[in-house]
Structure formats: C-alpha cells, structure tokens
Amino acid sequence: MNKELIEEYLINPFTLMFRTIIKEEKRITEIIEFEEIYYTEESPLNIIKRNCGYYGSDYEGRRNGTKQLIAITHKAPILLESHTPIYLFPTKSPQHEFCAWIAHDHVKACRKADIKSLTIVKFRNNHEYTVSISTTPFRTQLSRTAMLRIEYEKSLERIEMYNLLKQSYFMKASEDRGPYRPYK
C-alpha cells in the first residue's frame, strides 16, 4: 500500500466517499477526501457509527431522524452532523460488506459504467470513481438524500419562525403595558 493504515477516521466536510476495497488480498476501507486518500481496517459501517457518536448522536438516532422526516428506512441516508452539514447515503444495505457511503454535497454528476451494476460518480473536485450500484438506484439515493436535506431545513425554518413569532408576541405584550411609572 502507498499509504499507512490510519486507526480512526473523522468524517469531515472534505470527505467525498468511503468504501470497502480489496488491496493486497486484504479487505480494507478506502477513504476519499477532496485532495487525499486514506486507508483503514475499520469497516464503513463502524466509521459511520463511531462518527455519529463523535457528533453527539448514535447511528440508530440518525436513522430514526431520517424515518421521521422522510419515512425512509431501507438504505436510509443520514444527516451525520447538522452544523456543517454533512449528509451521507449508502449504496447498499449498510450491513453489506461492500456498502459505500457517499457525501451528498460533493456529488457533481453520475453516469452508467460499461458494466451494468456499476456507476461512475463525478465529484466536485472533478475526480471520478466507480461504485458498485446501478445508475437508477444511485439517483434514487441522491434524491432521497436531497429530500432529507429539504425536510430538515424546513423543520429548522419552522423552529425559527416559531421563535420569531414568540419573540414578537412578547415584545408587543411588553409594549402594551404603557409607560413606566415608578412607585411612590
């Protein structure tokens, strides 16, 4: 291998994708960032689960959030971290040993590969990688993740609107009291 194995990987805004590959007859996870590639023995699902904990939730909580917002339970995309935000979607069942996780924000385009069950994904850095998923299901996963993003942002807008209305109500209520008159 060209690079050393890293022990733990922190998913971040530069993460494009991570997937299981066979390298030197060994199954490892390849982590592709905007300008770097790393390798680890940790499985993609374990990377997801550990990172959910790092960002203050757990994997089941993130999946339940997706279920609440868009009613998707099979191959569910997740919002890993809401401040950045980082949305990821799986290419297969997350338990499948060759499931890849892709950062929605970095996908620029996709097209069919020569082999039917593969898709070539072009990322924002203009690098292309082949993933083990047909093009139609890949586009479905992209759409589901976009739906998750939209619904999450709408829920934030509703909370913000509620807070503005509440603030406006209390401001008006205090103005209705009349001028301040000190007690004598």
Instruction: Give residue-wise pLDDT tens across range 100-130.
Output: 999 999 999 999 999 989 999 999 999 999 9
Tokens of 20: 């299981």
CA atoms within 13 A on the CB side of 98: 7
pLDDT for the residue numbered 125 = 97
Domain tally, the chain = 1
| Model confidence pLDDT, tens digit, residues 29-42 | 999 999 999 999 99
Does the residue 26 lie in any domain?
yes
Assess whether pLDDT exceeds 80 at residue 177: no
pLDDT score at 164: 72
Structural domain for 66, as ranges: 5-106+132-174
- 87 within a domain of the structure (yes/no): yes
Return the closest-CA partner of residue 81 out of 42, 118, 53, 44: 53
39 within some domain: yes
Structural domain includes residue 161: yes
Distance CA 163, CA 171 (A): 12
Q: Is the predicted pLDDT of residue 99 greater than 50, yes or no? A: yes
Q: Which amino acid is located at 11 in the chain?
A: I
For 8-64, the pLDDT digits (tens) are 999 999 999 999 999 889 999 999 999 999 999 999 999 999 999 999 999 999 999
Quote the pLDDT of residue 124: 97
Give residue 1's pLDDT. Answer: 45
Q: Output the pLDDT for position 175.
A: 54
Look at residue 113 and tell me if it is in a domain.
Answer: no
Q: Write down the pTM of the prediction.
A: 0.84
Is residue 180 a part of any domain in this protein?
Answer: no
For residue 53, tell me if it sits in a domain.
yes
Helix (H) or strand (E) run with residue 155 in it: helix 135-175
Residue 168 covered by a domain: yes
